[in-house]
Amino acid sequence: MQQLQLLGFLTLTLLVLNPSQCSPIGEQCAMQPGFSSISIVNLNSLEKYDAEVTYQPNRLNERSLAAWEYVEVNTDVNRVPQVIYEARCLTTHSCNGVDSTSSVESVPLSFRMPVLRKHTGCPFYSIEFESITVACICATSRKN
In the chain, the amino acid numbered 58 is: N
What are the backbone dihedrals phi and psi of residue 126, each rounded to the nearest 5 degrees, phi first?
Answer: -110, 155
Q: Assess contact for 105 and 141: CB atoms under 8 A.
A: yes
Domain CATH number, residue 40:
2.10.90.10
- Distance between CA atoms of 127 and 107, rounded to whole angstroms? 28
Report pTM.
0.57
Q: What mean pLDDT comes out for the span 2-11?
A: 48
Calculate what percentage of the chain has a pLDDT beyond 90. 28
Say what the pLDDT of residue 97 is.
74
Which has more pLDDT, 122 or 109?
Answer: 109
The structural domain count of the chain equals 1
Helix (H) or strand (E) holding 88: strand 83-89
Instruction: Tell me the pLDDT band of 98, cut-offs 50, 70 and 90.
Output: confident
Domain hosting 58: range is 2-140
Q: Assess contact for 122 and 23: CB atoms under 8 A.
A: no
